[in-house]
A and B are shown apart, each in its own frame.
Chain A
């Protein structure tokens, strides 16, 4: 998995590069927008991580040019601005995800993995399955080992979000964004409360818990067996 990192802050770039390498990615670094655009056009990458404010060529402008050249590599925008409008601008320019600086590395890693594993939208999935947990998306029904699980509409959405990313780490912010469409940090332990309720519904009474907490990062739903 090959990543292009476009970032003018050298220390931050080194730190990210190191972290990404340790997580098993190969990484190339470009220092400004022009170099980034050149490399992104010439090379072949699985993901581009681009700072929003870059010397010579602004991150968003670079992104627009990339998209005009029909380069569809997923792009994760890093921004120190982090306002609502800023986010909207980033996504409109063709970004696939957006992360406000400063961020925890685990947050970046979770989003990088999510973007890399994103499959092109093929045939509509109507049924999700992880171990003995099954989700019928058409009938809005959840069953585990054949037994019905009683879920509210939101809990169903939450479980669907986790199951579509089975095996990946999903952070609290990703959950808030993906399930509730909220793009800001609430001050309370909201997500933990909802996850513990979902856990109660999904895992209680089973030996093998499917939903697991990933310390310092978030949650993951996976079949450990």
Chain B
């Protein structure tokens, strides 16, 4: 069943919902911040105006108290031009609001002013003789209960400043929102495009274009990293499917040949109604061919199982060197029969590999058998274990004909053999099985030049913990402890 690809609309993205939410929160935050700045600033401005007026009133009152009315009049005349400079207004009247001095012509308030602080409007003459209304805030003070002193300041400037400030704040909020929204939109678009590209590429791959890869640049952002990783995975899968196909083809070929022989032989025997003696021979050679087919199938199944990648059921810490020693001892007489010296140099490495003893034994066996098969009489084969950092290396080296560099990768694939070995019996599966076992144990296998000869290096991760008892010996660890401290047979 093929699933329909989702149609991607930008507003459906989780990321666009997130962006909208973010924008709303951002807008509220900026609005609150700027509004409070505005309120604080305008309030502070009003207080400052009042403080200036108060100070001026104090100063003039002091002059009156020290020097009487004439002193005050002098002070006021000194300030007569202050409207133009500072926007300040002064008026000294008697209690009936009749002007005595100051730069105002009339008492500006209707009726008796009782409040200390008042606000009113005055008409000021400009230089070209027109008049403009000015809002004024003023303070009134009674001098010695015979005069009234009014000191005020033009609010025009302050009001204009506050208005400009308000406009600036609104513009600021608007522009910030616009900027945030467009950045958000841009990112949502970008992410949407990338996601759609990936989805489209995947769809193409699903429909059979296996060579296709996700678009990725080298910018190193998380999308490219993801694409690179996915592409690596796809490479791996494609390689595996190639290997699988190649294996399948070679399997068919490798099985067909003996089956063909069996069939020919049986048909011939039937046709000629062979004598009992002949049919025995036919059956025997048929059995040999059948056995060969069985063996090939069994090995292929093991490779398939190892390649399936699930860790082996029976995983235990395996003393690799002891296993090598045991198997070399097992094969040593066979080697001697073929004129080969098979040795295991002592390395005294007390380290283990976590894995299946059976599969690791099979690995070592395959390496030894491979060497026994290809190294001519008089040669030397050695298998040893080395420590390489946190890994153990199983090294099988010989002084046989070796494998040319160009062929090293090929011979690890199932059924691939060197041309010069075509005459040798063998399925071409030994090294691929060894390779599969190494991969299953999360290791890697290298074919190197032993100058002369071949050196097969299998690097396997060393099992770290069961060598010493775990620091926290909880009940969980107890079975492991019991298992590992038991004497090794």
Whether B365 sits at the interface, judged by CB under 8 Å, is: yes
Least CB distance from B150 to A in Å reads 105
Given A88-B313, A194-B333, A197-B333, check contact A83 B301 (CB 8 Å).
yes
Across the interface, which residues of B come within 8 angstroms of A180, CB to CB?
326, 330
Given A187-B369, A194-B333, A197-B333, check contact A102 B361 (CB 8 Å).
no
Cβ contact within 8 Å between A182 and B365: yes
Chain A's interface: helix, strand, loop or mixed, by majority?
A: loop
The chain B residue with its CB closest to the CB of A184 is B362
Whether A185 sits at the interface, judged by CB under 8 Å, is: yes
Given A83-B301, A84-B359, A88-B313, check contact A188 B333 (CB 8 Å).
no
Across the interface, which residues of B come within 8 angstroms of A102, CB to CB?
290, 294
What is the CA–CA distance of A168 and B376 in the complex, to the nearest angstrom?
39
Task: With a 10 A CB-CB cut-off, give which of B302, B329, B330 has the most chain A CB atoms.
Answer: B330
Cβ contact within 8 Å between B337 and A82: no
Selected from B290, B337, B356, the residue in CB contact (under 8 A) with A84 is B356
What is the CA–CA distance of A16 and B372 in the complex, to the nearest angstrom?
37
Selected from A84, A85, A188, the residue in CB contact (under 8 A) with B334 is A188
Least CB distance from B307 to A in Å reads 12
The contact string, 1 if C-beta is below 8 Å from chain B, for chain A 82-94, is 1111001100000
Whether B331 sits at the interface, judged by CB under 8 Å, is: yes
Q: Kindly identify, within residues 78 to 108 of chain A, every residue whose CB is under 8 Å from any CB belonging to chain B.
A: 81-85, 88-89, 100, 102
Cβ contact within 8 Å between B313 and A188: no
Chain B's interface: helix, strand, loop or mixed, by majority?
A: helix
Least CB distance from B231 to A in Å reads 33
Cβ contact within 8 Å between B358 and A82: no
The chain A residue with its CB closest to the CB of B427 is A187
Whether B295 sits at the interface, judged by CB under 8 Å, is: yes
Cβ contact within 8 Å between B314 and A84: yes
Selected from B301, B326, B334, the residue in CB contact (under 8 A) with A193 is B334
> For this complex, into which size category does the number of interface residues on chain A fall?
20 to 34
Whether B312 sits at the interface, judged by CB under 8 Å, is: yes
Whether A140 sits at the interface, judged by CB under 8 Å, is: no
Across the interface, which residues of B come within 8 angstroms of A84, CB to CB?
302, 305, 312-314, 356, 358-359
Selected from B301, B369, B426, the residue in CB contact (under 8 A) with A82 is B301
Least CB distance from B418 to A in Å reads 17
Least CB distance from B127 to A in Å reads 106
The chain B residue with its CB closest to the CB of A89 is B313
Whether B237 sits at the interface, judged by CB under 8 Å, is: no
Whether A183 sits at the interface, judged by CB under 8 Å, is: yes
What is the CA–CA distance of A193 and B330 in the complex, to the nearest angstrom?
10
Q: Kindly identify, within residues 166 to 199 of chain A, every residue whose CB is under 8 Å from any CB belonging to chain B.
A: 180-190, 193-194, 197
Least CB distance from A183 to B in Å reads 5
Least CB distance from A192 to B in Å reads 9
Whether A21 sits at the interface, judged by CB under 8 Å, is: no
What is the CA–CA distance of A85 and B361 in the complex, to the nearest angstrom?
14
What is the CA–CA distance of A102 and B290 in the complex, to the nearest angstrom?
10
Cβ contact within 8 Å between B369 and A188: yes
Across the interface, which residues of B come within 8 angstroms of A193, CB to CB?
333-334, 337
Cβ contact within 8 Å between B330 and A82: no
Least CB distance from B323 to A in Å reads 10
Least CB distance from A37 to B in Å reads 25
What is the CA–CA distance of A180 and B327 in the complex, to the nearest angstrom?
9
Given A83-B305, A180-B330, A193-B337, 17 more pairs with CB closer than 8 A: A82-B301, A83-B301, A84-B305, A89-B313, A100-B298, A181-B357, A182-B361, A182-B365, A183-B358, A184-B358, A184-B362, A185-B295, A186-B365, A186-B369, A190-B331, A193-B333, A194-B333
Binding site for B on A (CB under 8 A): 81-85, 88-89, 100, 102, 154, 180-190, 193-194, 197
Q: Could you pull out 24 A-B pairs where Cβ atoms are within 8 angstroms? A: A83-B301, A83-B302, A83-B305, A84-B302, A84-B314, A84-B359, A85-B312, A85-B313, A100-B298, A102-B294, A154-B329, A181-B357, A182-B358, A183-B358, A184-B358, A184-B361, A184-B362, A186-B365, A187-B426, A188-B334, A188-B372, A193-B337, A194-B333, A197-B333
